Chain A
Amino acid sequence: MDFNQIITQTLTQAIGVSAVIYCLAAVGLNVHFGYTGLLNFGQAAFLAVAAYGLAVSVSRMGLSLWVGILVGIVAAILLALLLGVPTLRLRADYLAIVTIAAAEIIRLIVRSVTFREYFGGSDGITRFADEFYALNPFSGPIDLGIIKFSQNDAWVVTVGWVLIAFTSFVVWSLMRSPWGRVLKGIREDEDAVRSLGKNVYAYKMQALILGGVIGALGGFMAAIAFQSVQPDTYSTEFTFFVYTMLILGGAARIFGPILGAAIFWALLVFVGEFLNEAVNKGVITFLTNTQVGQIRFMLVGLGLMALMIFRPQGILGDRKELALDAR
Chain B
Amino acid sequence: MWGVAVAPASATATGPVIFGTITTPEDEPVEGVTIDVAGPDGFTGSATTDAEGAWEVQVPSSGTYTIKLDESTLPEGLGLAAGSERTVTAFGGKVRVQFPTGDSVLEQSSKIDQVIQLTVDGLLLGLILALGAVGLSLIYGTTGLTNFAHGELVTLGALTTYFYSAILGLPLVLAAAAGLVTCGALGAVQDRVLWKQLRRRGTGLIAMLVVSIGLGIFLRYLFLFLFGGGTQQFPEFSGQAGLEIGPVSITPKAIIGALLAVAAILGTIYWLLRTRMGKASRAVADNPALASASGIDVERVINVVWILGATLAALAGVLTGLTSGVSWNMGQQILLLIFAAVTLGGLGTAFGALFGALIVGLLIQLSTLIIPPELKSVGALVILIAILLVRPQGLLGRRERIG
Contacts and interface: CB of A to CB of B under 8 A. Distances in A.
Interface string B199-218: 00101111101110111111
Contact of B339 (A85, A97, A113): A97
Contact of B146 (A93, A123, A243, A323): A93
A8 B378 CA distance: 43
A205 interface: no
B217 A240 contact: yes
A140 interface: no
A65 to B, nearest CB: 23
Interface stretch (B111-119, B237-245, B369-377): B369-377
Contact of B210 (A85, A121, A308): A308
Interface string A5-45: 00000000000000000000000000000000001000000
Interface size class of B (residues with CB under 8 A): 35 or more
Contacts of A304: 210-211, 213-214, 217
Contacts of A90: 388, 392, 402-403
B289 interface: no
Contact of B378 (A87, A105, A308, A323): A105
Contacts of B340: 97, 101
Instruction: Give the 6 A-B CB pairs with smallest separation, nearest first.
Output: A301-B218, A304-B214, A301-B217, A325-B204, A305-B214, A91-B403
A243 B213 contact: yes
Nearest to B87: A113
A283 B217 CA distance: 28
Given A303-B214, A305-B211, A294 B374 contact: no
Given A304-B217, A324-B206, A108 B378 contact: yes
A112 B375 contact: yes
Contact of A300 (B198, B201, B217, B372): B217
Contacts of B216: 301
Given A90-B403, A100-B339, A309-B198, A105 B214 contact: no
B254 interface: no
B384 interface: yes
Contacts, number: 141
Contacts of B392: 86, 89-90, 94
Given A301-B221, A308-B214, A324-B207, 11 more contacts: A97-B340, A101-B384, A102-B385, A112-B372, A112-B375, A294-B221, A298-B222, A300-B214, A304-B211, A304-B213, A327-B206
Interface in A66-103: 85-87, 89-94, 96-98, 100-102
Given A297-B221, A302-B214, A309-B198, A98 B374 contact: no
A218 interface: no
A85 B225 contact: no
Contacts of B378: 105, 108-109
20 contacts: A90-B403, A91-B401, A94-B347, A96-B209, A101-B339, A114-B375, A116-B87, A240-B213, A300-B214, A301-B218, A301-B220, A303-B214, A305-B214, A307-B214, A309-B198, A309-B211, A312-B207, A325-B205, A325-B206, A327-B403
Contacts of A301: 214-221
Interface size class of A (residues with CB under 8 A): 35 or more
A92 B206 contact: yes
A5 B388 CA distance: 52
A270 B382 CA distance: 41
Interface of B: 64, 87, 89, 146, 198, 201, 203-207, 209-211, 213-222, 224-225, 336, 339-340, 343, 347, 372, 374-375, 377-378, 381-382, 384-386, 388-389, 392, 401-403
A302 B225 CA distance: 15
Nearest to B223: A294
Given A240-B213, A297-B217, A298-B225, A94 B64 contact: no
Given A101-B381, A298-B225, A305 B207 contact: no
A247 interface: yes
A15 B368 CA distance: 46
A295 interface: yes
B210 A93 contact: no
A123 B89 contact: yes
B128 to A, nearest CB: 19
B388 A87 contact: yes
A298 B214 CA distance: 9
Contacts of A96: 146, 209
A153 interface: no
A291 interface: yes
Interface in A233-277: 237, 240, 243-244, 247
Contact of A93 (B198, B209, B217, B222): B209
Contacts of A100: 336, 339
Interface string A276-315: 0000000000000001001101101111111111001000
